Amino acid sequence: MAGNEGYLAKPSGECCLKGSIHEGEARGRIEEIAGIESYVSAPRGKDNGNIILYFPDVYGFFLNGFLIMDGFADAGYTVVGMDYFRGDPVWKHRKDRHDHSNPTFDYEAWKMKHTAYADAAVPGWVEAVKAQFGKPTTKYACVGYCFGAPYVCNELAADTCAAGAFAHPAFLKEHHFRRLQKPLFLSCAEVDHTFPTEARREAIDILRHDKKTYNVQLFAGVEHGFALRGNMENPYERYVKEESLRAIAQWFDYWLSR
């Protein structure tokens, strides 16, 4: 996430602490990969032989994220997610943006600490996933939410992943878009303080001008976090969460079948 240019998708902020906990039972398993606690969810039934690398938002490992990973597994992928927060997700300090019960918690310092660790740890973790789970015929995709978006872009500037996607991104600068070599799917909220309309349009202009391969999905009436922490008692919020996951899975199906 280094670089001197300004952010297009700004660092995680107060809006990133908003959300609901979903209902369900995670079916994956936790294991260490490259010394990092990781969640592994395998397909049930249809198995396309391919792998999705999952980069979580600031909530890290929690039920909603596990269920999203299980959802991608239902689409036929082995899904492997990393806990680059090392058991220290933001919800352990602040339950939501209105929670100030821990006045000593420094959100900015928390972000700096975990960003520095994730930047250093992600490349080795990706290689360890490939060594442990990959086969000569395996193809890879990557998906990230909020904090995880830069790692998707980094992977799409490298050789491992055939396609990637992010939803309601944070921490993105111009170079993340300019360096892309593989197709990117952007799942976006109309109301997003980390990736507002002007920044989203600037990012799309870069992608268009540089002739990158991309697709933009934009949902009206939802905010940052819609794809992971929406209110499932609201039918529309449930729809957009499920539609985001479905569209990303189909994006991967197409590009990994080429």
- What span, in angstroms and rounded, lies between the C-alpha atoms of 143 and 121? 17
Q: How far apart are CA 208 and CA 214, in angstroms?
A: 9
Higher pLDDT, residue 77 or 102:
77
Instruction: Kindly indicate the confidence band of residue 78, based on its pLDDT and cuts at 50, 70 and 90.
Output: very high
Instruction: Kindly indicate the confidence band of residue 164, based on its pLDDT and cuts at 50, 70 and 90.
Output: very high
pLDDT at 226: 97
For the chain, domain boundaries:
7-257
Is the pLDDT confidence value at 79 over 60? yes
Helix axes 63-74, 235-256, angle to 10 degrees: 50
Task: Kindly state the average pLDDT of the residues 238-242.
Answer: 96
pLDDT in the model for residue 96: 73
> Which pLDDT does position 18 carry in this prediction?
72
Is residue 41 scored above 60 in pLDDT? yes
Question: Is pLDDT of 146 > 60?
Answer: yes
pLDDT at residue 1 is higher than 50: no
Q: Parallel, antiparallel, or unpaired: how do β-strands 36-41 and 29-33 relate?
A: antiparallel
Contact (Cβ atoms closer than 8 angstroms) between residue 114 and residue 88: yes
Q: What is the pLDDT of residue 56?
A: 98
Please enumerate in sequence order all residues whose Cβ is within 8 A of that of 14, keeping only pairs 6 or more positions apart, or say none: 97, 193
Kindly report the average pLDDT of the chain as a whole number: 94
Q: What is the pLDDT of residues 45-69, one digit of tens each?
A: 899 999 999 999 999 999 999 999 9
> What positions carry a catalytic annotation?
146, 192, 224
CATH (residue range 7-257): 3.40.50.1820
Q: How far apart are CA 71 and CA 240, in angstroms?
A: 14
pLDDT exceeds 90 at position 126: yes
* The overall pTM is greater than 0.85: yes
Q: What is the pLDDT of residues 179-198, one digit of tens each?
A: 999 999 999 999 999 999 99
Residue 5, pLDDT score: 60
**The predicted structure's pLDDT at residue 99:** 76
The pLDDT of residue 21:
78
